[in-house]
Structure formats: C-alpha cells, structure tokens
Homo-oligomer: A and B are copies of this chain.
C-alpha cells in the first residue's frame, strides 16, 4: 500500500463510521430517543462536521488486522469519534481555548450558545459509552473491557487530565518531560485506545493488544509533534482554525524548543519505530503503517 492507497482507505473507513454516526444521532435511535431537537442538532453540528476521522480508521484497521467483526468495529470506531468530538466542543469553550472556528465552521458555542455547547458535549460523551456497550458481534466481556479502557484513556488520568495540564501550562513553565507527559495524555491517550480497541474488538491475544497499544502510543507522539509543527508553520486557512495560537499564548512546544529540522527528524524516527512494532504482522499491517506515515507527514 502507498500514500494514495491509504488516503482511499481512510476515506472509505470515514464513510463507514460516519454512517454509524448519522444513524446514532437520529431522533429514532434508542440511545437518544426523546432528545430535544436543538440539543440533538448541536450534537450533530459537532459530530457530523467532517474531519479526517483518523481515530475511527485506526479502530477499524486494527480490528481488521485480527479479522474482527466489521460492524462492531465500526460502532466502536464511531463511539470513539463521538468522544473525540465532545472533547473538541468543550476545548473550544470560552473558559477553555476560546475558539470561534473549527474545521472552517463556527464552533458549537458560537453556532448555538455556551450552555448548549456544554450540554451537547456532555451528551456526546454519555452517548459514546452507550454505543460501545451496544456494539454488535462483540462478547459482553470484551465490550466491558472496551468501556473500562475508554474510561481510563479519556478520563482524569488520560485525555481530560492532559487538557487540565495543558491549561495549567499557560501560566506555568513546563519542563520538556512535563510537556511530553501532558501530550501523551491529551492526544496520545485516545490514539492509544483507538489502536488497542481494534485488538479488543477482535478478541486478539494479550501480547497483540500490548503491541497495538505501543503502536498507538508511538503514533500519538507523532500526531502531537506534527500538530505542533503545523501550529508553527501553517496558516489558518490551511488548518480551518486559528494557527500560531500556542506561540501567541507562550505555550512551549517541542518544535519551538528544538526547531523544525529536529522535529522532522524525530517524526521520521517515530515512523521507523511504528514500523518495527508492527513488523511481526508483515504485509497485513501495511495499512496501519501507512496510517503512521500519514500522521507524521500530514499538512493539515
């Protein structure tokens, strides 16, 4: 598989997970039956606004590596995307990053109002766990493992904790180690879950789960590094959101500390590391390895 091949696969997986999102965020779905119209519309604004759908792709491709059930994988993939979207809605709030635009459209609190944005985020997070619980073709005990792992990676010691540390970094100087730890939580935790979740969905062996988790951690590092590099180099139009914000806020990032060349070399090294982790699976892991390259080299 090459870059072009991966772009096609990413688009196909996005289409599949978006079909689940569309179905789940419809008034007739049992998990949201009776939801007020305006609240559901805000949830749809947050979750059906496009985006690359990288996390769903990682869930589905990891499940595919171990021949997991496709429909169940797509549902877990969509659940993770709901959770990712809730985190963006809350991060964009005035009390947090205070962003007006996201993916080239008004953020939820701009398009609706602040209270609705808080509640829409809460509802997306709540829905995410319900969707995992009801995923089809997966053992109840594996679904429980998914719920527990998602709670850990998305919670106070994972994504939410990373966001809290990131906010604290605006007013206090972090060491390089602290920056890395914060990013591993803020961005890395969900990417780690994505890769491990596919293995859990497929009932893979513990050592395979561990391998996928390490792969997820590695591309999590690459993702954040590429993000910071973009913040240093790109403009708002390419990103669909404000660029250079971290710099403007005096947040230290690794590219800001070490320069652009160092960052590019580090990204290349992380791709090599990701390839080595998946080497035992040979050609079957080609898509996931392309995903790692995509993460490291992305330009938007």
Contacts and interface: CB of A to CB of B under 8 A. Distances in A.
Interface of A: 30-36, 38-40, 43, 86-87, 90, 93, 95-96, 113-116, 118-119, 121-123, 125-127, 129-134, 139-141, 143-144, 147-148, 150-152, 154-158, 160-161, 163-165, 167-168, 185
A118 B90 contact: yes
Which of A39, A157, A185 has the most chain B CB atoms inside 10 A of its CB? A157
Contacts of A160: 39, 119, 122-123, 126
A114 B95 contact: yes
A289 to B, nearest CB: 29
A122 B164 CA distance: 11
29 contacts: A31-B151, A31-B155, A32-B155, A32-B157, A34-B157, A34-B158, A34-B161, A34-B185, A36-B164, A38-B168, A39-B156, A90-B118, A95-B118, A96-B118, A115-B164, A116-B164, A122-B122, A125-B125, A126-B151, A126-B154, A127-B156, A129-B147, A130-B148, A131-B151, A133-B147, A133-B148, A133-B151, A144-B147, A147-B147
Contacts of A87: 122
A204 to B, nearest CB: 18
B130 A155 contact: yes
Given A123-B156, A147-B147, 13 more contacts: A36-B168, A39-B156, A39-B160, A39-B164, A86-B122, A93-B118, A95-B118, A118-B118, A125-B125, A126-B154, A126-B160, A129-B129, A130-B152
Q: How many copies does the complex hold?
A: 2
A70 B31 CA distance: 29
Contact of A155 (B38, B127, B158): B127
Contacts of A152: 30-31, 33, 130
A139 B43 CA distance: 33
B122 A125 contact: yes
A38 to B, nearest CB: 7
A252 B184 CA distance: 48
B122 A161 contact: no
Nearest to A95: B114
The 5 closest A-B pairs by CB, nearest first: A130-B151, A35-B156, A34-B157, A95-B114, A123-B156
B126 A155 contact: yes
Nearest to A122: B160
B38 A164 contact: yes
Contacts of A32: 155-157
